[in-house]
Amino acid sequence: MTANDRTLFYTALLSLLEVGFTPVRALRGVMPQAFRRVAAAMADDIERGATLTDAMRRQRCFSHMELALIHAGELAGNLPESCRQLVEYFDEQKALRAKMISGFMYPLFLYHFAGLVFTLLRYVGKADDCLQFLILWSIAPWAALLLWKLLAPVRHSMLVSGVVNLLPFFGGLQFQRECARFLLCFGRCQDAGMGMEASIDTSAGCCHSTLYQYDFRKIARKQSECRQPFSACAIGALPREMPDEVLTLLQTGEISGQLPMYAERSAKLLSGRASTKLLLLAKALPVVFYIFVAIQIAMRVIGFYAGYINSVNSLME
């Protein structure tokens, strides 16, 4: 199920809940095609006595973040607000992905065009593996994409996350995205009246990286022992330091008694910065790719003419 499917699902659920439908009636209402069977099964589970969160958990197609936000909405008696936040989250993810894909479309076309040029040069050079080369060249980017998806558990492992954290650009990007997920859920959990330790522990599960899950849960243990504010416990407890602006927002929320609102503002701040970095990456990678392809073409053209000149010289001798 794509981000667009999830946006449509939560938009439909939000609209029906806002006009007074119960969760069961809302789930049996007009739902996007991808979620019709799931919604019907969830409605059946709720009629048997399950909560909406439990019904979603049984379907195994919802992320920990979705479950945590819906659970917080149920506790607070404000499911529409949780649905609205999920709509905004998936809308943002969908828009960001669309921008990144559009940025890679022309480089991908250039990649396949370069494959044709390289194949032609090999054919002129009387190589025997032209067709094999073209096939391998064509499927390479799609194989890399498939491998990227299959290796998601490895990418999110503590070891890989720790290595990524050491990289200036990618470490900062990982930190901002993980903290944004955590703070969004943390704000909703606090708004629902959950205790500080329970809020931190639940929100830690929203992080993709096991390293950040571990570090945030370490903050929960520290907070339960020393009873300090969350912002004070977070200092020095994460792989990278929280930006001063985020700490200021959290401290303001703790002092004013409006921590949920300021946590969500911090999440939006970090999410915006991460999106800016991803768009910058989407613009920079094509340029690097252009340079790589240009060098490859130049080397192969030079190699072709060098071979041709050597052949002519050998004939003249």
Residue range(s) defining the domain that contains residue 76 = 3-87
Tokens 């996007």 sit at which residue? 32
Look at residue 13 and tell me if it is in a domain.
Answer: yes
The verdict on residue 27 lying in a domain is yes
Q: Is the pLDDT of residue 317 over 70?
A: no
In this model, does residue 125 exceed pLDDT 70? no
Lowest pLDDT segment from 144-148, 236-240, 281-285, 311-315: 311-315
* Residues listed for the chain: 317
Give domain status of residue 25, yes or no. yes
> What's the distance, CA 170 to chain centroid?
13
Task: Judge whether 291 lies within some domain.
Answer: no
For the chain, how many structural domains are there in total?
1
φ/ψ of residue 238, rounded to 5? -105, 160
pTM: 0.77
Q: Has residue 43 been placed in a domain?
A: yes
pLDDT band at 301, cuts 50/70/90? confident
Helix (H, G, I), strand (E, B) or coil at 133: helix
Residue 227 forms part of a structural domain: no
- Closest by CA to 204, choosing from 94, 193, 225, 196, is 196
- State pLDDT tens for residues 185-223: 888 888 877 788 888 888 888 888 898 888 888 888 877
Tokens 């593996």 locate to: 129
Q: What is the 3-state secondary structure (H, E, C) of 38-76?
A: HHHHHHHHHHCCCCHHHHHHHHCCCCHHHHHHHHHHHHH
69 in any annotated domain: yes
Average per-residue pLDDT for the chain: 83
With respect to residue 133, please indicate whether it lies within any of the assigned structural domains: no
Q: What is the pLDDT of residue 220?
A: 81
pLDDT class for 123, splitting at 50, 70, 90? Answer: confident
Model confidence over 57-95: pLDDT tens digits?
888 888 888 888 888 888 878 888 888 888 888 888 888
**CATH number of the domain that residue 17 is part of:** 1.20.81
Predicted confidence band of residue 315 (pLDDT cuts 50, 70, 90): low
